[in-house]
């Protein structure tokens, strides 16, 4: 399935993917391109909604903050929010936002329609629970009322994949906090609880793989750093 | 083979191509406009950036068949009878290029911002230029050229 093509086209160029059939969804913009606020506070993002359009729409500030870190403007002009979730890159900012905001993916096939929680959807690096005959038609995000969020990452250059990153939220009313960590494990992971000690728990839960951009210990260290900074920026005394 | 019809710089172009043909190859080999350059061919370097219906895109990450019916703008459209486009002129004056391989992509990314040039911030220019690899200039001249063209004061660093 070809939507924005900003991940699939490079895979084709490298011959890492050799599909026998490629279906382009881009003429279905009227059906799949919408972004709508639903009753109850959820945001439904259609499969062809471009990252740049969602970023600029102001529909959800935490998502806009995350999207500004995705690639570059010309990439976001084509890339889609839903495609990013389907691609399931362990370092993808959008997957972490979806995990933090109790996201779910709406899937359709000739067998019917089903909705899968992002937590169950992401099964590993570039792997999801989407069946071969299913089409992702929308992502549904459920931001908890009143929470404040920050997205923070460390990358070698602007637009690069993060060495470690975090979507951090706090509930000013109840004092609870939440972290969704990306780039530090085979898939993003989430921690909930009081802000004190949450960054340390996040670092302890990291399962990064080392490469020439950063070793395992350094990447684990970075998880703690970005988590502490994000929580501090949100006014908690986690640092 | 599929027939693809689109418009490049206002000129209709029709060609029969394989579905796997990228828009970049279509522009270079069918529309015979070689100002659009191919560097990495996987969306990283930015050299192949063109406008698709006014929006900056990587032409190496788009299939020509996907651009059916679209208006494509390439670097060849910038200069007119009056001479260089103000963006080209600024790059020339500020030593914003040396070998020039990356320049057409940079110009097209900046050209996307040009219609609303009164509202473009320095941060937006930096974000835009961040999507382009240049191995000659060290970027300082490119940033200065863009600041000049968009009427912004020169930043305190490149």
pLDDT at A238 (0 to 100):
60
Residues of chain B contacting A14 with CB distance shorter than 8 Å: 42
Tens of pLDDT, residue by residue over B64-95, are 999 999 999 999 999 999 999 999 999 999 99
**Which uninterrupted H or E stretch holds A187?**
none
Are A74 and B62 within 8 A, CB to CB?
no
Other CB atoms within 10 Å distance of the CB of residue B59: 28
Closest among A101, B2, B46 to A81, alpha carbons compared: A101
pLDDT at A174 (0 to 100):
83
Percentage of residues of chain B with pLDDT beyond 70 = 98
d(CA A33, CA A112): 21
pLDDT at B158 (0 to 100):
45
DSSP annotation of A14 reads T
Other CB atoms within 10 Å distance of the CB of residue B135: 11
Are A78 and B131 within 8 A, CB to CB?
no
Of B42, B76, B110, the domain-final residue: B76
Return the residue of A nearest to B56 by Cα: A74
If you search the block for the tokens 């089903």, which residue do you land on?
Answer: A114
d(CA B23, CA B58): 9
**Is B81 inside a domain boundary?**
no
Are A6 and B127 within 8 A, CB to CB?
no
Tens of pLDDT, residue by residue over A158-211, are 888 899 999 999 999 988 999 999 999 999 999 999 999 999 999 999 999 998
Q: Rounded mean pLDDT of B40-57?
A: 97
**Is B113 inside a domain boundary?**
yes
**Is B154 inside a domain boundary?**
no
CATH number at residue B94: 1.10.150.120
Q: Rounded mean pLDDT of B139-157?
A: 90
Whether residue A17 lies within 8 A of chain B, CB to CB, comes out as no
Q: Are residues B72 and B6 in the same domain?
A: yes
Whether residue A120 lies within 8 A of chain B, CB to CB, comes out as no
Nearest to A14 among B42, B56, B57 (CB): B42
Of B50, B76, B102, the domain-final residue: B76
Percentage of residues of chain B with pLDDT beyond 90 = 96
Query: Tokens at residue A52, please?
Result: 């740049």
Q: Report the residue of A74, A76, A79, A157 to disrupt the B interface, i.e. the one with the largest count of B CBs within 10 Å.
A: A74
Query: Does this complex have an ipTM over 0.85?
Result: yes
Residues of chain A contacting B63 with CB distance shorter than 8 Å: 2, 5, 9, 24
**Is B66 inside a domain boundary?**
yes
Nearest to B41 among A6, A13, A75 (CB): A13
Residues of chain B contacting A80 with CB distance shorter than 8 Å: none
Q: Are residues B70 and B119 in the same domain?
A: no
Return the residue of B nearest to A158 by Cα: B130
If you search the block for the tokens 């500004």, which residue do you land on?
Answer: A68
Please, which residues have CB within 8 angstroms of residue B146's CB and are 6 or more apart in sequence? B87, B90, B96, B110, B125, B129, B152
Are A158 and B130 within 8 A, CB to CB?
yes
Q: Are residues B22 and B61 in the same domain?
A: yes
**Is B156 inside a domain boundary?**
no
Residues of chain B contacting A74 with CB distance shorter than 8 Å: 46, 49, 56-58, 109, 112, 131
Highest CATH level, class, for A8-141: alpha beta
The residue ranges of every structural domain in chain A are 8-141, 148-233
Half-sphere exposure of B62 (CA within 13 A, CB side): 27
Domain count for chain B: 2
pLDDT at B75 (0 to 100):
98
Q: Are residues B13 and B38 in the same domain?
A: yes
Q: Are residues B111 and B140 in the same domain?
A: yes
- What is the DSSP secondary-structure string of A55-102? HHHTS-HHHHHHHTTSS-HHHHTT-BHHHHHHHT-TT-HHHHHHHHTT
Kindly state which CATH superfamily the domain A148-233 is placed in: CO dehydrogenase flavoprotein, C-terminal domain (3.30.390.50)
The 3 state secondary structure assigned to B9-61 is: CCEEEEEEECCCCEHHHHHHHHCCCCCCCCCCCCCCCCCCEEEECCEEEEHHH
If you search the block for the tokens 């990013």, which residue do you land on?
Answer: A84
Query: What's the domain range around B8?
Result: 2-76
Work out the minimum CA distance from B104 to partner chain A, whole angstroms: 14
d(CA B107, CA B49): 9
Q: Are residues B61 and B91 in the same domain?
A: no
Are A73 and B131 within 8 A, CB to CB?
yes
When the pLDDT of each residue in chain B is averaged and rounded to a whole number, the result is 96
Residues of chain A contacting B112 with CB distance shorter than 8 Å: 73-74
Whether residue B129 lies within 8 A of chain A, CB to CB, comes out as no
Tens of pLDDT, residue by residue over B104-144, are 999 999 999 999 999 999 999 999 999 999 999 999 999 99
Other CB atoms within 10 Å distance of the CB of residue A172: 12
pTM: 0.95
**Could you state, in chain order, the average pLDDT of each consecutive group of 10 residues for chain A (239 residues)?**
95 94 94 95 97 95 97 97 98 98 98 98 98 97 96 92 96 94 98 96 96 94 98 82
Nearest to A72 among B41, B42, B130 (CB): B130
Work out the minimum CA distance from B57 to partner chain A, whole angstroms: 5
Q: Are residues B64 and B121 in the same domain?
A: no
Whether residue A26 lies within 8 A of chain B, CB to CB, comes out as yes
d(CA A34, CA A17): 29
Q: Are residues B71 and B33 in the same domain?
A: yes
- What is the DSSP secondary-structure string of A188-236? -EEEEE-STTHHHHHHHH-----BTTB-HHHHHHHHHHHHHHHHHHTT-
Are B128 and B110 in contact by the 8 Å Cβ rule? The answer is yes
Of B20, B55, B76, the domain-final residue: B76
The 3-state DSSP class for residue A44 equals: strand
pLDDT at B67 (0 to 100):
97
Q: Are residues B106 and B134 in the same domain?
A: yes
pLDDT at A67 (0 to 100):
97
d(CA A118, CA A96): 9
If you search the block for the tokens 């486009």, which residue do you land on?
Answer: B85
Whether residue A78 lies within 8 A of chain B, CB to CB, comes out as yes
Please, which residues have CB within 8 angstroms of residue B85's CB and are 6 or more apart in sequence? B78, B79, B107, B111
pLDDT at B156 (0 to 100):
62
Q: Are residues B70 and B7 in the same domain?
A: yes
């Amino acid at each position: 399935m070809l939507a924005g093509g900003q991940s699939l086209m490079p895979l084709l160029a490298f011959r890492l993917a050799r599909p026998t059939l490629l279906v382009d969804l881009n003429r279905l913009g009227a059906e799949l391109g919408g972004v709508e606020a639903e009753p109850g506070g959820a945001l439904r993002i259609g499969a062809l909604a471009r990252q740049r359009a969602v970023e600029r729409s102001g529909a959800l500030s935490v998502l806009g903050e995350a999207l500004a870190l995705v690639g570059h403007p010309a990439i976001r002009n084509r890339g889609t929010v839903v495609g990013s979730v389907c691609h399931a890159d362990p370092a993808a900012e959008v997957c972490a936002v979806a995990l933090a905001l109790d996201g779910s993916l709406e899937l359709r096939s000739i067998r019917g329609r089903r909705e899968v929680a992002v937590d169950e959807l992401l099964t590993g690096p570039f792997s999801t629970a989407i069946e071969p005959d299913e089409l992702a038609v929308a992502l549904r995000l459920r931001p908890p009322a009143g929470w404040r969020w920050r997205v923070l990452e460390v990358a070698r250059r602007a637009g690069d994949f993060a060495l470690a990153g975090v979507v951090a939220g706090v509930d000013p009313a109840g004092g609870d906090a939440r972290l969704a960590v990306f780039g530090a494990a085979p898939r993003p992971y989430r921690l909930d609880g009081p802000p004190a000690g949450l960054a340390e728990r996040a670092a302890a839960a990291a399962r990064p793989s080392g490469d020439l951009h950063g070793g395992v210990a350094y990447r684990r260290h970075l998880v703690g750093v970005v988590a502490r900074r994000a929580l501090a920026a949100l006014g908690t005394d986690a640092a | 083979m599929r027939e693809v019809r689109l418009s490049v710089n206002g000129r209709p172009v029709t060609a029969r191509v394989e579905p796997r043909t990228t828009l970049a190859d279509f522009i270079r080999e069918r529309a015979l406009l070689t100002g659009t350059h191919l560097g990495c061919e996987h969306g990283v370097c930015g050299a192949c950036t063109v406008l698709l219906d006014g929006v900056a895109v990587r032409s190496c990450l788009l299939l020509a068949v996907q651009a059916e019916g679209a208006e494509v703008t390439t670097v060849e459209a910038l200069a007119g009878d009056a001479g260089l486009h103000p963006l080209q002129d600024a790059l020339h004056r500020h030593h914003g290029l040396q070998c020039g391989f990356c320049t057409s992509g940079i110009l097209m990314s900046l050209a996307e911002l040009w219609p609303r040039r009164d509202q473009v911030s320095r941060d937006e220019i930096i974000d835009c230029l961040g999507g382009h690899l240049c191995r000659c200039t060290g970027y300082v001249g490119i940033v200065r050229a863009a600041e000049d063209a968009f009427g912004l004061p020169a930043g305190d660093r490149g």
